[in-house]
Amino acid sequence: MARPRSTGMSTIAPLWSTTGAPKDLQLRCRCGHVRGVANNVAPHAGFRFVCYCQDCQAFARFLDRPDVLDAAGGTDIFHMPMGRVKLTAGTDAVRCLQFSSRVFRWYTDCCRTPIANTAGPRFPVVGPIHSFMSRCPCRAYSRRVSAPPFQACRE
Ligand SMILES: [Zn+2]
Ligand SMILES: [Zn+2]
**pTM for this structure?**
0.74
Distance 53 CA to ligand 2 centre (A): 4
For the segment 4-15, what is each residue's pLDDT rounded down to a tens digit?
444 443 333 333
Q: Which ligand is nearest to the CA of 90?
A: 1
For the segment 13-43, what is each residue's pLDDT rounded down to a tens digit?
333 334 556 678 889 999 999 999 988 777 6
CB under 5 Å of ion ligand 2: residues: 51, 53, 56, 153
| DSSP-derived pairing of the beta strands 47-51 and 35-41 | unpaired
DSSP 19-60: T---EEEEEE-SSSSSEEEEEEE-GGGSEEEEE--HHHHHHH
- Among candidates 98, 86, 85, which has minimal Cα distance to 153? 98
Distance 70 CA to ligand 2 centre (A): 13
For the segment 84-133, what is each residue's pLDDT rounded down to a tens digit?
899 999 999 999 999 998 899 999 999 999 999 998 778 888 999 988 98
Domains along the sequence of the chain with CATH: 23-144 (2.170.150.70)
